[in-house]
Amino acid sequence: MTESRASASPAPSRNDDFNVRDAFRRAPRGVRWSAYVAAALALLLVLLVLAAGAFVRRPLPGIDGELELAGLDASVEVLRDEHGIAQIYADTDADLLRAQGFVAAQDRFFEMDVRRHVTSGRLAELFGEDGLETDKYIRTMGWRRVAEQEWALLDAETRDALTAYAEGVNAYIADRSTSELALEYTILGLSGLDYEPEPWEPADSLAWLKAMAWDLRGNMDDEIARVMATLDHTPEEIAQLYPAYDAEAHPPIVDGGGVVDEVFEQNATANSTRNPRRAAFNDETVRALADLQAGLRRLPQLLGRGAGIGSNSWVVDGEHSSTGRPLLANDPHLGVSQPGIWLQMGLHCREVTPDCTLQTTGFTFAGVPGVIIGHNADIAWGFTNLGPDVTDLYLERIEGRTWIQDGEPRPLEQRTETIEVRDGDAFELRIRETAHGPLLSDVSQELSTVGANAPTDRPGQRGNGYAVALQWTALEPSTTADAILALNRAGDWDEFRAAASDFAVPAQNLVYADREGHIGYQAPGLVPIRKSGNDGRMPAEGWLSANDWTGDHIPFDALPNVLDPDEGVIVTANQAVIGDDYPYQLTDDWDRGYRSTRISELLEREGELSIAEMTRVQLDTANPMAPTLVPYLLDVEELGSQYYRDGQELLADWDFTQPADSPAAAYYNAVWSNLLRLTFHDELREGIWPDGGDRWFAVVTDLLDDPVGPWWDDEATEDVVESRDDILRQAMLDARDELTTRQALDPQEWSWGHLHHLDLRHATLGESGIAPIERLFNRNGHEVGGGASIVDATSWDAAQGYEVTAAPSMRMVVSLADFDDSRYINLTGVSGHPGSSHYGDQTELFVNGEYLPWAFSRDAVVEAGENTLVLVPAEDD
């Protein structure tokens, strides 16, 4: 058997929000920032400035009194409550959105500025060589180019909104020094950066939607993982690692229905078949795809990465609500950072007129006009990730300046872009594309050699090997920005669906409720239709046109939707949208449905739900795998001394829930982590070690029924064949030793939260390697409950550690009976300034399961108001 995990060095975390963060981590602490800090004196000055406190508070915005805002037609009120959440009142949409841009810049401009550098491939301008790899990937994919192309596709009203928002941002930054905009600029300036922010452009807002789409892009990691497993395992073994979705145990969102004449009907049925051709892979391919996987994991993942990127949402009708009207809940699960991804805000017309149509409130992104998730005066909506397969990797056969398909050479599209590098020479990046998309292999030296040693009977065999291209729907210019503002203005189900029809990427499950009592669900998004040679599960052979996308997408009207189902309840938690009879291919890589099933059970148990009961469902910590695994653990004998039996005895009376203070949950999860290590690390390549999420629940559940199956055997032990019970026993022994080392000898002093802590790190300076700066920008050490694939989805990666990698980024419950009775909470706070009291003032409430009142009516907003800022037109306008 392998050694106890407790004796091994802790593995590094994968929770990397920026490539620059990863670069800071890779560098030895003694040389971090060597490119940025001219001398020790500069660091001393930083510390003196921070100690003095003046520069920490200097960027805090004015939130009372009167300020001029160029471009306004009339005065605008910005009312903030005790948590700094802004509610904006104006007489026109244009003034509302100018003020929204102004307020977003007040609270989060540095975050907005870094985001636009990331999405345009210009991170190296701020952070030097450490940002170059990210820039290469982003430039190769062309996020900013696509965003600029989308401008011409948008409705005139959307272009006006984006323009007004940009005007508000620019009005704020125009006459302020960098030290007045953000503390981060002061510190970077002391490190030698000579920088003035450029004016905000509408394309900066559009480009951020590409980052959102990238983090929710679907099954590309699974595509790579399947290939990495092919060289070492049979198709039957791979099938065990990717068991089929169990629709009987975990019902899809939409029960039944089908497509008739390209229109989805709730009571219809339809069928289709697919017969894909599988690509053959060799060791060079696997090594190269592993290299690609590693490179992509260093890309900006501002909404999170890997397992845990999902969400919960559900809606109940008036018959299931104590209010007599619908209730809607949503909590998106995204990566954790400081500040968090969301900014709470309200946009209110003083009087609704043709020139002033917005009456909406909720959660938005700093840098994007409108509200992303929330409600207006008539409807409420929530998102979860639909997760369709919208990315494909293609192995391409390259010959000189051409790529080959069906035996014919086709010209590569080529361009060269210059990446400016702080304190270094500019980098000239050659970008090449096939009809499938950009060649990511041009970024990676390893990828550029793929297939160089391929067998001679393979059609892609050439001295310079295969290239790897990415086809992704987000690289097609689209109108998602239209959808955001149309959702804000929608007044009923038909207008809601019309807005959803423009929502291209990332494809989301949309839940709906309105004041008239209706509830609904709509799947939107650009989902490609593939030719019969490609099912999207593994990288395809690009030299065969049978593997191409057809060029068409699933028609919007054919996407699953439902209005007022008989059950009176709709639950979406990233489970399968619809059954196998649906005639189009959405994906085979659904979340396995443990969360959705648990939510449905709780809603049925409660019967008539109150707002408080809806929030309790969001906070549920029951582990769905524990009832399956624990009986096996209790049956394990010969643990030896009482010291080792102590942990097992904790499980005897455990209720399978995982609050932060639970000793049993700490022990169970340590056993689970060690079980996965002992079972799979010896047989799987490191890049595809189990993360411990929902797929691994299904895998291990099946393996438990086969006590002498080959997966249980430890290949590192000669002349010994381990069984299931051997592995379970050793996992329990190792877990006991690990918790003794990490926490205490007495099991009653163990707690899940001590292992499973939430660290909120600033994406750039919070990883600087300079302890006083990290302490200023980070908010670490929150002990939380929940876990991976639990309703309270504080995910962790079993291959890396117990720390939280993704979490509910916010929680909300909307009452359609009285919007002022609604509740919400943010993971951090609305401010991006560490000197502000609102930088993290919602975090402790969030961790403790508390919510804030969500004022909507004018009277409620005024009553909650703590500060009032009046923006007035500039005198020279």
Tell me the binding residues: 223, 389, 392
Q: Exposed (0-12), middle (13-18) or buried (19+): which is 156, by Cβ within 10 Å?
A: exposed
| Among candidate residues 778, 853, 808, the one with its CA nearest the CA of residue 341 | 808
Instruction: Count the neighbouring beta carbons within 10 Å of the beta carbon of residue 418.
Output: 10
> What CA–CA distance (Å, rounded) separates 467 from 542?
10
Token pair, residue 115, equals 């985001």
Peptide bond into 506 cis (omega under 30): yes
Catalytic residue check, 205: no
DSSP run (H or E) holding 309: none
719 DSSP 8-state letter? T
CA 543-544-546 angle, 5° bins: 155
Cα separation, 362 vs 351, in Å, equals: 19
For residue 357, give Cα distances in angstroms to 95, 157, 485, 746, 766.
12, 11, 10, 62, 40
DSSP strand pairing (540-541 vs 391-399): parallel
**10 Å Cβ neighbour count for 112?**
26
- Measured CA to CA, the distance from residue 86 to residue 68 in angstroms comes to 17
Q: What is the dihedral of CA 188, 190, 195, 196, to 10 degrees?
A: 90
Secondary structure, 3-state, 521-549: EECCCCCEEECCCCCCCCCEECCCHHHCE
Which secondary structure element, helix H or strand E, spans residue 650, and what is its range? helix 642-652
Cis-peptide into 539, omega within 30 deg = no
Cβ 554 vs Cβ 504: under 8 Å: no
Cα separation of 664 and 751, whole Å? 8
Residue 824 φ/ψ, nearest 5 degrees: -155, 165
What are the structure tokens assigned to 623, written together? Answer: 């582990």
Answer for the pair 160, 447: CB distance below 8 angstroms, yes or no: no
Q: Quick one: which of 129, 201, 270 has its CA closest to 584?
A: 270
**Residue ranges at the known binding site for Ca(2+):** 223, 389, 392
Strands 561-563 and 757-760: unpaired
Cα end-to-end span (Å), the chain? 77
Q: Which of 576, 658, 584, 602 is nearest to 625 (CA)?
A: 658
Q: How far is CA 543 from the centre of its chain?
A: 33
Instruction: Classify strands 263-265 and 258-260 as parallel, antiparallel or unpaired.
Output: antiparallel
Q: Which residues pair with 312 in a beta bridge?
A: 331
Three-state SS sequence of 446-482: CHHHCCCCCCCCCCCCCCCCEEEEEEEHHHCCCCHHH
Cα–Cα distances (Å) from 446 to 291, 467, 700, in that order, read 7, 10, 34
Of the residues 191, 205, 311, 795, which is catalytic? 311
Give the residue numbers annotated as catalytic, written as ranges: 311
